[in-house]
Amino acid sequence: MPNSKITFLPHNVSLEVPPGTSVIQAALDAGVHINASCGGEGVCGKCRVRIEAGSLEGGVSEKLSAEDVHSGYRLACQSAVTADVTVRIPVESAIDAGVLNRPASPRRTARIQEFNFDELKERGLFLAPVEKKYLEIPPPSLQDNLPDLTRLIGFLTLQHDEHRLEADLGVIRKTPEVLRQDDFRVTATLVRPVREDGKTRIINLQPGDTSGRSCAVAMDIGTTTVYGQVIDLITGAVRAEHAEFNGQISYGEDVITRIVYAEKPGGLDRIQEVVIGTINKILRKIIRRSGVDPEDISTITLAGNTTMTQLLLKINPRCIRRAPYVPAASIYPPIKARDLGMELGDHVTALVYPCVSSYVGGDIVAGVMGSGIYRSEELTLFLDVGTNAEIVIGNKDWLACAACSAGPAFEGGGLKFGMRAAKGAIEDFSLDPGTLEPMIVTIGKVRPKGICGSGLINMVAVMFEMGVIDNLGKFDPGLKTPRIRKTDGGREFVVAWKAETQIDRDISISEIDIENLIRAKGAIYSGCMTLLTEVGLGVGDIQRIILAGGFGSFVDLAKAMTIGLLPEMDPDKVIYLGNGSLLGAKMSSLTNRIRRDVAAVVRKMTNFELSDTASYMDNYIAALFLPHTDINRFPRLKARVEARRQAV
Amino acid sequence: MPNSKITFLPHNVSLEVPPGTSVIQAALDAGVHINASCGGEGVCGKCRVRIEAGSLEGGVSEKLSAEDVHSGYRLACQSAVTADVTVRIPVESAIDAGVLNRPASPRRTARIQEFNFDELKERGLFLAPVEKKYLEIPPPSLQDNLPDLTRLIGFLTLQHDEHRLEADLGVIRKTPEVLRQDDFRVTATLVRPVREDGKTRIINLQPGDTSGRSCAVAMDIGTTTVYGQVIDLITGAVRAEHAEFNGQISYGEDVITRIVYAEKPGGLDRIQEVVIGTINKILRKIIRRSGVDPEDISTITLAGNTTMTQLLLKINPRCIRRAPYVPAASIYPPIKARDLGMELGDHVTALVYPCVSSYVGGDIVAGVMGSGIYRSEELTLFLDVGTNAEIVIGNKDWLACAACSAGPAFEGGGLKFGMRAAKGAIEDFSLDPGTLEPMIVTIGKVRPKGICGSGLINMVAVMFEMGVIDNLGKFDPGLKTPRIRKTDGGREFVVAWKAETQIDRDISISEIDIENLIRAKGAIYSGCMTLLTEVGLGVGDIQRIILAGGFGSFVDLAKAMTIGLLPEMDPDKVIYLGNGSLLGAKMSSLTNRIRRDVAAVVRKMTNFELSDTASYMDNYIAALFLPHTDINRFPRLKARVEARRQAV
């Protein structure tokens, strides 16, 4: 279905939206304010709009009289755009038109980097890591009774020009039987060497012709969630995917508590078994769903942070959590999947992404490989934000990286009314600059239960830009609104009144909450600045930003730049990678080019321990402002703020 | 102690013997006959000799009167040479002097090839497969917190100029702990690549300096017996060795019955466990005896015939025993010793010698590598004789090989009174050409119980050379002696009368026994001839013979040439290798040169299936004579036979 055009009056702002978009969401995207504080459930009845041309779906409510409905009034939060429509926002629902008379800055998240297997091939980046070869071999005789494997290898050379072959013991064990199962018609699975001068390994032998079926598994072992995919090595398609919470969550929510558990007697064995249990659960699901014969799965590639990786490989992680934070290894050898306990064929080798340091792990390396920064001319800032944020800056010539503890603010943690991005979380927000009445949107369009990370960023950005809070995050005591009130710990702003919530309490955002966010964004921004400082560059040198992890998918780029979380730049230059760890694992399954390059990339990635880097504290203190102690670094924001001051 | 000289009168034949040699053995070695048919237990009392000068130890017996003893008479079988001595053989104990008046041909077994580690080094054949490097590493700090393994590798490069290193997962797992155990003073065990362009593997890490301690295990997995050695990789010395019967004997004496068992459900698993049980029993003994810390054992190398190898590696051997006799593989990859069930460190890799064909196995390849034929200019015949005989002919340019079934005759099997070379087995023999009374020597110098393989060869050789049997192995019916008698199956010769034996029966050798031996030696000789025929050479081209296996240690070379088992050549050109399989395993433990060369050698070894080679049957039929249908191939024997005929 094509997009529909919605025009808001009296602002005369139009935008195209996908059919089914709620009017309140469209208003938010258009930068048009409609009073709405119930999150979209239609409880408050404040968000009335009037249809002037075209039509809307829904929006009729007991909050509207029959006469209102007849006159074209609808509740914006309850009505959906299904065709071109023009709506007028009545005075009681609208903001001061004067203030709004600025160019619309539609809500923009980063565009997604698309993965294209054919393009990969075209660009010469495709080096098949696994190939299957079908053979019809003449049976042996007394005149020609070479050992079975010698015969097999001979005909791989003769019929497929294969050289430098070697076979695993598992293949030798099955060769006599498999050769004779279908009259010496067999398919050999070959694993290509990573280095050009290496040997090609025969890892499996199947009766008959199975050369059209070849798959791999890619997995991201996250601290919270484990994602798995079955990849078709012939088409590059994802045949099935599934995610499960990492079973280790019962042993602690973060890496530190997991390490503490692993240090107990028997703890490491136990916690390794648990993640293998999660992996096997996913394997069973994705193998069943994809309909793939497990014999046709030849490799598994896994990426995870350093702690997840060491736990997966049963490597004691105790030195990770103690200064000077030393991981056991950077590069791990290929390991038989079965030896780790994975329910995969005996022939399957597990490849585990290398890590850089204790807090820049294989997930980040996978993201760097998957995003292709390491081959890029452009100076790129790669950011994976969660409880910990990992930062990589560089291009094909150099890469600097660091990790910083952002705290849980971006995941809605540590706030008075914080919550994960689940149903009922306030994720979007705007304010009527005149009345300071909010418009909020919750996930699932239900009455609010709390505030998630993106909601917090949006609130702080909006309040800062409207002057509700100052650059220290403090509320303007001169503002007249019942929503701002004093508490023991400073002022707070009531986002939703008790009656409009699901929790039977006012939902508010306090100066302490804002301070938490400023600290979190300050840690990340100053991490980036420190890496730049250390390599003698400035923020203006960054040509591109790549966001990885769940955070990147929902963050409003303009708002993130407003609070100083991201350096200010053209949103077109910001790319969302999705799950970079999973993408890297997938790409490594598809091409040996990644495996060949990764060791050199890891060596190239210079790790900075921020706590031990002289410039970090200076950068951090300078970043504990909205957006920064030096607003000149954010010229567009500065211009907007100045324009607003003049307008007021 | 120096050798002593014994002189026999009236023949005036002298030879030097090691102190403690029995007079009867010395007589045999000197080619002097003394009547003696009780095997050396002193029962028959016939072997009287008289001391004419010097002295003997022992030899006084109730079979001698006090007067006899006083006159210097002793029983030859009971007395030992401990100093220079001259003895006279009285007429009743001696043979016809005229006949004996030929040049003495002392009993000669092949000289042993000595293994010299220093020579190996001097000849540039030494490429250490395992080396230990001691390191003192500065501990990490926040400014320098590289992963532990990266640090370790960095300092191996810095302090020991090591490059292209990689580490096993087992090493990564222990690195954090071991590094911190003795304040970052550690010893790394490095395994060198077989190919020059390969990587060096770090397989172990130990706290402190253990660089002076480095060992390997070498094993020969024989069908009957398993031999093991602990080798000191620094000095080349054998630190301990031990042999056990292969526990698989309970599942069949030969490879065929073992294969039949392995084909039963669960049979392969069971029979593999059994040989691993034997290996572990030996490992425990040799490790304890050598006093070596198991952590200091870095590799194990094993060699065995093709069936033993496939059973060890749990590879179904069913195709080995069925035409066209195809083994699963020639070259086996390195395998973790623990994965096979061996009680060795987790870091130990098992290397298994490659095989050529179903019946020319890793034991023979090990012998070829250990003896150095593959580097030799001389055209060499390599022979390993047991129930099966394996033959290799060639030099550094080419190698041809074959296996033939010799039957059990050389191991004393299939004879009416055959037995293994154990206590009471007749192993040496001569005849009084006048009276045809025998002189026999048994193993352990006890009354005879039967005849072992070397005894049989000696008997047939002596009887043929004396004309007691003809070139078909038939007894001369004209000879007058009660020892030759007719039975249902032809004639037989009584070697020991009932009263002189331990078994209360006459021990005899029959024409059927002789026919068995002729078939066995004919199979081997014709095997050699066939290989020579196939490569366009003749027996005269052979410049050297190498004997491997237990057989080679005791066979009287002159006698083996007399019956046509070995081609006639200067005994100095015959070398006894000992256990070639064990020697090859040992050498492979000591130098990578062997491992580097072995794949090419195996490819070079052209296997001939004798049953399918046209010239074999002709060669075989021609060899079913003593020594051969064409005695001109044995010119020295021909000369002796003609001299004897003229003398008679």
Q: What is the pLDDT of residues A616-641, one digit of tens each?
A: 999 999 999 999 999 999 999 999 88
* A528 neighbors A539 (Cβ within 8 angstroms): yes
Residue closest to B431 by CA, chosen among B472, B471, B475: B475
Measured CA to CA, the distance from residue A496 to residue A509 in angstroms comes to: 10
The edge-to-edge listing of strands for the beta sheet with A438-442 is A438-442, A425-431, A450-451
Q: In Å, what is the CA distance from B236 to each residue of A441, A626, B597? A: 80, 74, 20
Residue closest to A392 by CA, chosen among A408, A376, A414: A376
Say how many C-beta atoms besides its own lie within 10 A of residue B232's C-beta. Answer: 19
Q: Where are the alpha helices (DSSP H) in A137-210?
A: 148-160, 169-181
- Three-class SS state of B228: strand
Residues of A in contact with B150 (CB under 8 A): 329-330
β pairing state of B574-578 and B388-394: unpaired
Q: In Å, what is the CA distance from B541 to each residue of B321, B369, B374, B538, B568? A: 34, 22, 17, 6, 12
Which distant-in-sequence residues (6+ apart) come within 8 Å of A115 by Cβ?
A: A583, A586, A587
β pairing state of B111-112 and B574-578: parallel
Closest chain B residue to A613, measured at CA: B143
Q: Specify the amino acid at residue B62.
A: E
Q: Best mutation site among A156, A169, A186, A616 for testing chain B: the one with the most B CBs within 10 Å?
A: A169
- Three-class SS state of B385: strand
Tell me: pLDDT of A101 over 50.
Answer: no
* Chains A, B: CB pairs < 8 Å: 137
Q: Give the single-character DSSP code of B499.
A: G
DSSP-assigned states of every residue in A312-355: HTT---GGGSSTT---S-SS---EEGGGGT-SS-TTPEEEE---
Beta bridge partners of B13: B8
Q: Best mutation site among A319, A339, A534 for testing chain B: the one with the most B CBs within 10 Å?
A: A319
Measured CA to CA, the distance from residue A110 to residue B274 in angstroms comes to: 64
Weakest-pLDDT range from A103-117, A264-278, A497-511, B571-585: A103-117
Tell me: pLDDT of A648 over 80.
Answer: no
Positions of chain B with pLDDT lower than 50, given as ranges: 95-105
Measured CA to CA, the distance from residue B549 to residue B366 in angstroms comes to: 12
Least CB-CB distance to B147: which of A169, A314, A327? A327
Q: What is the mean pLDDT of residues A544-548?
A: 94
- What is the token pair recorded at A120? 């990969």
DSSP-assigned states of every residue in A367-429: HHHHHTGGG-SS-EEEEEESSEEEEEEE-SS-EEEEEEE--GGGGTTTSTTB--S-TTEEEEE
Least CB-CB distance to A330: which of B147, B325, B332? B147
> Cα angle vertex A163, ends A158, A168, to 5°?
110
Q: In Å, what is the CA distance from A573 to each residue of A192, A368, A530, B79? A: 37, 17, 21, 105
Would you state the pLDDT for residue B95?
47
Measured CA to CA, the distance from residue B68 to residue B47 in angstroms comes to: 13
Q: Where are the alpha helices (DSSP H) in B197-303?
A: 255-263, 267-290
Least CB-CB distance to A609: which of B145, B147, B332? B145
* B188 neighbors B168 (Cβ within 8 angstroms): no
Least CB-CB distance to B142: which of A140, A149, A324? A324
Q: Supply the ipTM of this predicted assembly.
A: 0.85
Q: Say which residue, B88 or A356, is predicted with more confidence.
A: A356
Torsion over CA: B260, B266, B268, B274 (sign): negative
Would you state the pLDDT for residue B92?
62
Phi then psi for A463, rounded to 5 degrees?
A: -65, -35
Give Rg (Cα) of chain A.
Answer: 29
DSSP-assigned states of every residue in A560-584: HHHTTSS----GGGEEEEESHHHHH
Measured CA to CA, the distance from residue A47 to residue A9 in angstroms comes to: 14
Residue closest to B134 by CA, chosen among B199, B186, B171: B186
Measured CA to CA, the distance from residue B451 to residue A235 in angstroms comes to: 73
Residue B577: Cβ-neighbour burial (10 angstroms; 0-12, 13-18, 19+): buried
- Closest-CA distance, A360 to chain B, in angstroms, reads 12
Closest chain A residue to B148, measured at CA: A328
Q: In Å, what is the CA distance from A368 to each residue of A445, A530, A573, B226? A: 36, 19, 17, 54
- Closest-CA distance, A603 to chain B, in angstroms, reads 10
- For the full predicted model, state whether its pTM sits above 0.90: no
Contact A324 B148 (CB under 8 A): no
Least CB-CB distance to B330: which of A150, A197, A332? A150
Measured CA to CA, the distance from residue B476 to residue B8 in angstroms comes to: 31
Contact B172 A315 (CB under 8 A): yes
Residue closest to B628 by CA, chosen among B532, B573, B561: B561
DSSP-assigned states of every residue in A140-151: PBTTB---HHHH
Closest chain B residue to A352, measured at CA: B169
Q: pLDDT (tens digit, 9 = 90+) per residue, A133-144? A: 999 999 999 999
Q: In Å, what is the CA distance from A331 to each residue of A334, A353, B119? A: 10, 7, 41
Q: Where are the alpha helices (DSSP H) in B491-556?
A: 511-534, 550-554
Would you state the pLDDT for residue A24?
85
Measured CA to CA, the distance from residue B176 to residue A310 in angstroms comes to: 12
Least CB-CB distance to A315: which of B173, B327, B358? B173
* B73 neighbors B93 (Cβ within 8 angstroms): no
Tell me: pLDDT of A414 over 70.
Answer: yes
Residues of A in contact with B144 (CB under 8 A): 324
Torsion (CA) B513, B519, B521, B526 in degrees, nearest 10 = 170
Q: Where are the alpha helices (DSSP H) in B291-390?
A: 306-312, 362-371
User: Taking every pair of C-alpha atoms in chain A, what is the biggest distance, in angstroms?
Assistant: 102
CA A40 to chain centre: 26
* B549 neighbors B222 (Cβ within 8 angstroms): no
Contact A142 B609 (CB under 8 A): yes
β pairing state of A215-221 and A165-167: unpaired
> Cα angle vertex A144, ends B321, B533, to 5°?
100
Residues of B in contact with A330 (CB under 8 A): 146-147, 149-150
Q: Specify the amino acid at residue A382.
A: F
Measured CA to CA, the distance from residue A424 to residue B445 in angstroms comes to: 100
Q: Scanning the structure block, which residue is given the tokens 């009471």?
A: B424
Residues of B in contact with A147 (CB under 8 A): 326-330, 355, 357
Weakest-pLDDT range from A161-175, A228-242, B65-79: B65-79
- What is the token pair recorded at B311? 């059973």
Q: Where are the alpha helices (DSSP H) in A96-168?
A: 97-100, 117-122, 148-160
Phi then psi for B161, rounded to 5 degrees?
A: 55, 35
Q: Specify the amino acid at residue A123.
A: R
Contact A329 B357 (CB under 8 A): no
Torsion over CA: B444, B447, B449, B454 (sign): positive
Q: In Å, what is the CA distance from A563 to each residue of A456, A600, B208? A: 11, 36, 54
Would you state the pLDDT for residue B14?
87
CA B392 to chain centre: 15
Q: Specify the amino acid at residue B23.
A: V
Measured CA to CA, the distance from residue B8 to residue B27 in angstroms comes to: 8
Would you state the pLDDT for residue B99?
38
Tell me: pLDDT of A106 over 70.
Answer: no
Contact A142 B314 (CB under 8 A): no
Q: In Å, what is the CA distance from A359 to each residue of A304, A356, A471, A532? A: 11, 8, 31, 19
